């Protein structure tokens, strides 16, 4: 066990986690951030952010994430590389975080573990991950220059990915399980105007084919049950996001895996807060993640102050 209970431990070092940390630190809290991979989270892989206020020319996601991290580090936030695997409430009311390194004790915990792309869970997907299967066209699209690819999904992300790939690839199939898209109208108009984007309606992916690399995608028409193979070298999966929150056990209420909170970012357990993409809410953007984090840190501060006052009473 670490030598002392932190005021607040923040799980996840994406923009939500780093923002919560910088606010918590400015409230004078002893603040620790646990990040299992790369600081910056999803924002760090966004090539260009054009909707973050204050940057009319846009800013690279990596730079924005780096700046937020620097700002928090400068204030004295401690960052630790560790994956949090579980948590428990101790008898004294503090939280104990189990990690793949040292356990961490804290009075308040802010969960800012974000979201990850939803998987198809079909044969070949896992086996060919990085060998033609990707969840991020802006990250990997360039490798598929001059080759046919498929995008799976019918929402904004799917169409954004398809439009990006249409600049690089001779043919982009958009495979969608329904006969109409969910994406915003302006994206639909732009996609429809591209001669090399072909919509494959009422169809689901059933198998990614290939041994050393993707050689095709087997799809099935959900109305006729007919199967056929699209000859593609890349399969981009864009069917939404999911949050990994199993490690929180019954301490939180969930909706489809996303953590339910009130407006104060409080979960079902006092002293346990959630912020950012991991939270159950309709919009998942950097601005909303940062807004959540601001609120979570504020109420975490009051929780910690109350906790300490009760201990002294």
Catalytic residues: 136, 139-140
- Is residue 267 at the binding interface for ligand FAD, with CB under 6 A as the rule? no
- 152 φψ region: left (φ > 0), alpha (ψ -120 to 50), beta (else): beta
Smallest gap from Cβ 120 to ligand FAD, in A, equals 17
Among 5, 7, 13, 149, binds ligand FAD (CB under 6 A): 13
Among 113, 134, 203, 261, binds ligand FAD (CB under 6 A): 113
Size of site (CB under 6 A) for ligand FAD: 33
- Is residue 12 at the binding interface for ligand FAD, with CB under 6 A as the rule? yes
Closer to ligand FAD at the Cβ: 217 or 286? 286
Q: Judged by CB under 6 A, which stretch of 35-43, 172-180, 214-222, 232-240 contacts ligand FAD?
A: 35-43
- Secondary structure letter of residue 106 according to DSSP: E
Round to whole Å and give the CA distance between 248 and 113.
Answer: 11
Smallest gap from Cβ 50 to ligand FAD, in A, equals 6
What does the block give as tokens for 97? Answer: 């975080």
What is the three-class DSSP state of 312? helix
Spatial contact of 173 and 148, defined as CB atoms under 8 Å apart: yes
What is the three-class DSSP state of 177? coil
What is the end-to-end Cα distance of the chain in Å, rounded?
A: 26
- Is residue 296 at the binding interface for ligand FAD, with CB under 6 A as the rule? no
Q: Judged by CB under 6 A, which stretch of 44-52, 190-198, 230-238, 303-311 contacts ligand FAD?
A: 44-52
| Secondary structure percentages of the chain, helix, strand, coil, to 5 | 30, 30, 40
Checking DSSP bridges between strand 241-242 and strand 149-152, what pairing results, if any? unpaired
- Is residue 136 at the binding interface for ligand FAD, with CB under 6 A as the rule? yes
Q: Judged by CB under 6 A, which stretch of 21-29, 41-49, 187-195, 204-212 contacts ligand FAD?
A: 41-49
Spatial contact of 237 and 152, defined as CB atoms under 8 Å apart: yes
* Residues near ligand FAD, by CB under 6 A: 11-17, 34-37, 41-43, 45-46, 49, 51, 83-84, 112-115, 136, 138, 276-277, 284-287, 289
């Amino acid at each position: 066990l670490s030598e002392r209970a932190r005021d607040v431990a923040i799980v996840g070092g994406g923009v939500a986690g780093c923002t919560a940390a910088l606010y918590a630190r400015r409230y004078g809290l002893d603040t620790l951030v646990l990040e299992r991979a790369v600081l910056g989270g999803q924002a760090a892989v966004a090539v260009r952010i054009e909707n973050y206020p204050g940057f009319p020319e846009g800013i690279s996601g990596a730079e924005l994430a780096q700046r937020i991290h620097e700002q928090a580090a400068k204030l004295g936030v401690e960052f630790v590389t560790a994956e949090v695997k579980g948590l428990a409430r101790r008898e004294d009311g503090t939280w104990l975080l189990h990690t793949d390194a040292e356990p961490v004790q804290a009075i308040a915990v802010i969960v800012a573990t974000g979201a990850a792309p939803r998987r198809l869970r079909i044969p070949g997907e896992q086996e060919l991950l990085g060998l033609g299967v990707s969840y991020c066209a802006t990250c990997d699209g360039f490798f598929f220059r001059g080759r046919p690819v498929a995008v799976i999904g019918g929402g904004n992300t799917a169409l954004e990915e398809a439009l990006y790939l249409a600049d690089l690839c001779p043919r982009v199939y958009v495979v969608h399980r329904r006969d109409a898209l969910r994406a915003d109208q302006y994206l639909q108009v732009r996609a429809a105007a591209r001669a090399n984007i072909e919509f494959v309606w009422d169809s689901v992916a059933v198998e990614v084919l290939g041994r050393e690399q993707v050689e095709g995608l087997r799809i099935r028409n959900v109305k006729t049950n007919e199967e056929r193979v699209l000859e593609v070298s890349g399969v981009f999966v864009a069917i939404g996001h999911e949050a990994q929150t199993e490690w929180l056990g019954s301490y939180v209420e969930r909706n489809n895996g996303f953590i339910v909170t009130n407006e104060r970012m409080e979960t079902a357990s006092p002293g346990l807060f959630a912020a950012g993409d991991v939270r159950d809410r309709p919009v998942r953007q950097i601005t909303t993640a940062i807004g959540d984090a601001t609120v979570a840190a504020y109420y975490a501060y009051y929780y910690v102050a109350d906790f300490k006052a009760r201990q002294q009473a």
